Structure 1
Amino acid sequence: MKSTLEQIEDIKRDGYSIDFSNVFNDAFENYKKIAVYSGIVMLVLTLVLFLLFTVLGTIFGDLKGWSENLVKILGNQNTSSVEYIILIASITFITALFTPFGAGFLKMAQYADKDQKFDFAAIFSYYKAPYVFPLISTAFILGVVSGSISYFFESVGAGFAGTAFSLFISYFTFFTIPLIVFGNLNVFSAIKSSLILVSKNPITIFGLFIIGYIGSVVGVVICVVGVFFTAVFNTSITYAAYFSIFDDEEKRDPIDSIGRSDLE
């Protein structure tokens, strides 16, 4: 079987086909299998984090006051560019530490797709080598770039353009995380490959990108707590889209694999 990078080269040369309705249907079937369990996982972990921050607030002081000061700093026109970027980098690094956790829902989606049992530990599958460093690094790099560009547009009075550019980055890096965890690519290869994949089929991928995020926030409209059970819909969309382009070697029929070299 060709490596992910070899398949990317083929796609770069010949393009690829992807059907929106097939991906959506596959994603919805996958979502139905993981929605309840993933929702419970997120709800439990949110409660744990809430209790943790409550304890930290008791030990180290008023976290609410600290967060209010942070908002003031971000909104202060007198804050220098260097200070702002350092602050954004610090916040981005902290949030990037949770990227392997988010990628764990892709692992959960894979288990569900294969009709395999999974447990709570599945969500932490990528907090280990060789995944944890590329995942955190990718989130940090993209976060700093996006935050810095948003700051630039904000400083010249074009905040809307900054928001649009952030969405633009998210759109073109749609496949970055699955390329790391399923394609075993490094940080920059994953980002570059995602750009290629999106640019070769921009309209369909944009449709999936939008419907994934809309589906994820439906829970807020229905019930605030419901977002815990709909947020993972975007994961199912990403998973289904990725494997509509790339073969999953583990799902290959054993008969089809006869005569294939493991190094192919």
Structure 2
Amino acid sequence: MKNIIEQKVRNGYSLDLGKLIDESFANFKKTFLIAGLGMIILSFVMIIIYLGILGAFFGFSNFTETITSLEVLATEPGFILGNAVITTLFSALFAPITAGFINLNHLAATQREFSINNLFEFYKGHFFKTLFLSYLLIGFTTAVITSAFSLLGFEILNSLIQICIALFTIFTIPLIIYGEQNYIEAITKSMQLFIKQPLIIIVALIIAGIGMFLGIFVLCIGIIFTAPFIYSMYYVIYAQSVGFQNTSPIDEIGIE
């Protein structure tokens, strides 16, 4: 598999926007119920953790005052740096779940059974360490740059940098779970692969983003079930650009 990845990095690859849309939607139709349930669970967990952190730092007595305090503190250097640290840790800790959402599409595309448990498979074994370290590094880099821009008051550049980092690291998780790459290799190869077809990838992700936000029109909570469409697009981009060996690391460890 590593040889295939090297060839793609060296020689490039082709993507068909129409196929990306068709295949991602086909996988999404198979996975949206399980993925939507996973999004609900993940949302509850994140809300509880976030409220717990707020309560620990600002007290549980009056959350209205706490929210008001956050608006005031949002421009304070200490708060910006603290928020960056927490965001980095969250990103690293939840990276295995992102891998689970992506792999759900692989199971669907390869006609295998899947369940809600598959979303949490990557907290087991060697994958967790590699995924955690990759997103700890990505999150740290993002946090350092965006914190600097926030402190300087360049919020527009801040957002642009976050988008660019997300785009250049789009292949990182698939390269880890399917491509046998360590976290440094995955990040490096992801950047090299992205620059081979940046325009098609960006357009595909914009279309996926539009599809994702259409859920807002279904009683607003519908976005919980349409949000996983973005992971379907991540998977199909990797499948079309790099592909898989007949036997992948996922098959060998029995994740089904």
Specify which of 148, 155, 179 is matched with residue 183 of structure 1: 179
Q: CA deviation at 1:220?
A: 2.2
Q: CA deviation at 1:145?
A: 1.6
Q: Is the Cα–Cα contact under 8 Å of residues 32 and 226 in structure 2 kept in the other structure?
A: yes
Q: Which residue of 2 aligns with 1:105?
A: 101
Residue 122 of structure 2 aligns to a residue in which SS? coil
Q: Which residue of 1 aligns with 2:31?
A: 34
Q: CA deviation at 1:48?
A: 5.8
Report whether the alignment pairs 1:16 with 2:13.
yes
Structure 2: which amino acid aligns with 1:99? A
Scaled by the length of structure 1, the TM-score of the pair is 0.81
Structure 2: which amino acid aligns with 1:74? A
CA RMSD of aligned residues (A): 2.8
CA distance in 2 between partners of 1:54 and 1:202 (Å): 38
Structure whose alpha-carbon radius of gyration is higher:
1
Scaled by the length of structure 2, the TM-score of the pair is 0.84
Q: CA deviation at 1:55?
A: 8.6
Distance 1:45 1:191, change over 3 A: closer
Q: CA deviation at 1:70?
A: 4.7
Q: Number of matched residues? A: 245
CA distance in 1 between partners of 2:167 and 2:53 (Å): 36
Q: CA deviation at 1:20?
A: 1.1
Residue 180 of structure 2 aligns to a residue in which SS? coil
CA distance in 2 between partners of 1:212 and 1:113 (Å): 18
Q: Which residue of 2 aligns with 1:88?
A: 84
CA distance in 2 between partners of 1:52 and 1:196 (Å): 35
Distance 1:88 1:62, change over 3 A: farther
Q: CA deviation at 1:46?
A: 3.3
CA distance in 2 between partners of 1:49 and 1:43 (Å): 10
CA distance in 2 between partners of 1:13 and 1:51 (Å): 45
User: Which structure 2 residue ranges, 5 or more long, are not aligned?
Assistant: 249-256
Distance 1:20 1:191, change over 3 A: same
Structure 1: which amino acid aligns with 2:73? I
Distance 1:174 1:63, change over 3 A: farther
Q: Which residue of 2 aligns with 1:171?
A: 167
Q: CA deviation at 1:96?
A: 2.3
Q: CA deviation at 1:56?
A: 9.1
Structure 1: which amino acid aligns with 2:74? L
Distance 1:19 1:138, change over 3 A: same
Q: CA deviation at 1:210?
A: 1.9
Q: Kindly provide the CA deviation profile for residues 100-157 of structure 1, in whole angstroms up to 9, marking residues without a partner as x.
A: 1121111211111112111121111100121111212222222222222122223333
Specify which of 151, 166, 172 is matched with residue 147 of structure 2: 151
Residue 134 of structure 1 aligns to a residue in which SS? helix
1:1-264 map, 5 Å: 3-4=1-2, 6-47=3-44, 61-62=60-61, 64=63, 69-76=69-76, 79=77, 84-250=80-246
Structure 1: which amino acid aligns with 2:121? S
Q: Is the Cα–Cα contact under 8 Å of residues 171 and 209 in structure 1 kept in the other structure?
A: no
